Amino acid sequence: MTMGTIIWKEMKERPTALIASLLAIILSVTALVAIRNVTIFSEQEVAGKLDELGANVLILPEGVTLQDYYAADMHKETIPEEHVAELALAGLTGVEAITPKLCVPTKLDDRNVILTGILPQSEIQKMNAWSGGGMLFKKHEGCKAKINVADENLDAPDSLAERRALQHLNQSEVLLGSDFAASKGLKEGDQLQLLGETFEVLSVLPSTGTVDDSRVFAHLHTVQRLSGTGPVVNIIEVMGCCEDVANGLVGELQSLLPGTKVVTIANVVETQVSINRMMTNLSYLFLAILVAVGGASMASASFANVIERRREIGTLMALGATPRFVTQLFLAKAALLGLAGGISGYVLGSLIAVLLGPVFANVSVFPVPSLAIVAATVAVLVTLAASYFPARQASRLDPCLCFKEV
């Protein structure tokens, strides 16, 4: 009789104990997988929302009051442009892009227009390179990392509308908001005069539904020169990683640039970030429950099994079964239960997450295949650990004593 046959007969003859142990494992794994599944997609949703918002941290002159996020640069107060270099050289964790702006009211054919000077990311990249830090300027992979201020995805002029940051812009080029371009009948390649200088239209930005649609964007240093303001800006927009913004980036910016006001709109999603943390902690809690409940259940069932099956164990050993074979017999049964419980828990937990994720977390959830490996591995390890001592106890039974009445 093979080990597999013995294990199968054991499970078939004692289904009650088997089902009780299996349910304990399945329920714990189900809770673990469901919570972790929802958390993963909720974190992605939060990161996507912040990415759509573009810059989520604003650095303003100290006396400015923020009334409209998308018009936060519409004031007459300024801060030194050198703050941009300080930010670039600081290498703060969580900073994806830095966009300083200077707004100058002017006219084009008797129409009022806001000429907004922006500094392309390529020039901020040079500032960082001068520090000798050897940074590669590529986008981060997830949060909690040192992130650089340039990204190949910012090459297209449209990125200014999408992410409020632009990689390249010559000093003789301008970008037009969609409403302004439509009102003047301007398109890419056309020329226009502002503040006595001729510019070429690099691109017409897609509509954003904000004040940017009625603006003209030019190189920051050109706007400074033509307006005579000197090396100053009205605002520095910072795109920061959501987790880092919530975990101290604002405080670091305030310490780095005293005399400025650092404002974040991350509070739009701060509640969701807190919920994500809570759910992550809950997943760890249910992991502990899996270890405690599943382990205790398996240990109890295994000890009871050893007591109930003393005669069968004694018979096996009398027929030549070694202590190692007996130990492997109990551990193999535990591993099978753990594997079955882990896989079943993953399927049930994923189903619950897919069904309830949109209801409770307002996010679409899909099964995460990697969680199947985690669930099965954890369940098997827990059941093996819980069954080890009962298995060792069974392997040390004296065959002669096993035939006495218990």
Residue-wise pLDDT for 74-90, tens only, equals 677 889 999 988 888 88
Question: 11 and 125 in one domain?
Answer: no
Choose one of 233, 258, 283: the last residue of a domain: 258
Question: 219 and 109 in one domain?
Answer: yes
Question: 210 and 150 in one domain?
Answer: yes
What is the residue-averaged pLDDT of the chain?
A: 76
- Mean of pLDDT values over 60-76: 67
d(CA 385, CA 338): 11
Question: 235 and 97 in one domain?
Answer: yes
- Percent of the chain exceeding pLDDT 90 equals 13
| Residue 155 forms part of a structural domain | yes
Higher pLDDT, 266 or 86: 86
The yes-or-no verdict on residue 383 having pLDDT over 50 is yes
Choose one of 200, 225, 258: the last residue of a domain: 258
The yes-or-no verdict on residue 200 having pLDDT over 90 is yes
Cβ 272 vs Cβ 364: under 8 Å:
no
Q: If pLDDT is split at 50, 70 and 90, which confidence band does 138 have?
A: very low
| Residue 308 forms part of a structural domain | yes
Question: 208 and 133 in one domain?
Answer: yes
Q: If pLDDT is split at 50, 70 and 90, which confidence band does 308 have?
A: low
d(CA 167, CA 150): 7
Identify the pLDDT of residue 245. Answer: 60
| Least confident among 46-55, 83-92, 164-173, 310-319 | 46-55
| Residue 82 forms part of a structural domain | yes
The yes-or-no verdict on residue 17 having pLDDT over 70 is no
Cβ 106 vs Cβ 194: under 8 Å:
yes
d(CA 23, CA 137): 51
Question: 221 and 139 in one domain?
Answer: yes
The yes-or-no verdict on residue 120 having pLDDT over 70 is yes
- Mean of pLDDT values over 37-51: 71
Question: 297 and 368 in one domain?
Answer: yes
| Residue 296 forms part of a structural domain | yes
- Mean of pLDDT values over 300-318: 68
Number of domains forming the structure of the chain: 2
d(CA 243, CA 50): 10
The yes-or-no verdict on residue 319 having pLDDT over 50 is yes
What stretch of H or E contains 113? Answer: strand 111-118
- Percent of the chain exceeding pLDDT 70 equals 69
Q: If pLDDT is split at 50, 70 and 90, which confidence band does 216 have?
A: very high
What does the block give as tokens for 226?
A: 């033509």
Question: 335 and 221 in one domain?
Answer: no
Q: How many CB atoms lie within 10 A of CB 153?
A: 12
Question: 225 and 125 in one domain?
Answer: yes
Higher pLDDT, 148 or 159: 159
Q: What is the dihedral of CA 163, 165, 171, 172, to 10 degrees?
A: 0
| Residue 350 forms part of a structural domain | yes
CB environment 327-344: b (16+ within 10 A), e (fewer): bbbbbbbbbbbbbbbbbb
Higher pLDDT, 47 or 24: 24
Cβ 253 vs Cβ 60: under 8 Å:
no
Distances (CA, A) of 95 to 72, 88, 371: 20, 9, 30
Choose one of 258, 284, 302: the last residue of a domain: 258
**Residue 235 contacts by C-beta under 8 Å, 6 or more apart in sequence?**
58, 59, 60, 72, 73, 100, 101
**Residue 323 contacts by C-beta under 8 Å, 6 or more apart in sequence?**
317, 395, 396
Identify the pLDDT of residue 14. Answer: 65
The yes-or-no verdict on residue 36 having pLDDT over 90 is no
Q: Could you tell me which residues are beta bridge partners of residue 224? A: none
Domain that holds residue 334: 3-48+272-403
Q: Write the DSSP symbol of residue 245.
A: I
Residue 318 Rama label (left phi>0; alpha psi -120 to 50; beta): alpha
| Residue 69 forms part of a structural domain | yes
Question: 254 and 363 in one domain?
Answer: no
Residue 109 Rama label (left phi>0; alpha psi -120 to 50; beta): left
Identify the pLDDT of residue 387. Answer: 81
Identify the pLDDT of residue 50. Answer: 56
Q: If pLDDT is split at 50, 70 and 90, which confidence band does 242 have?
A: low
The yes-or-no verdict on residue 99 having pLDDT over 90 is no
Higher pLDDT, 44 or 347: 347
- Mean of pLDDT values over 41-54: 64
Identify the pLDDT of residue 406. Answer: 45
Could you tell me whether strands 111-118 and 215-219 are parallel, antiparallel, or unpaired per DSSP bridges? parallel
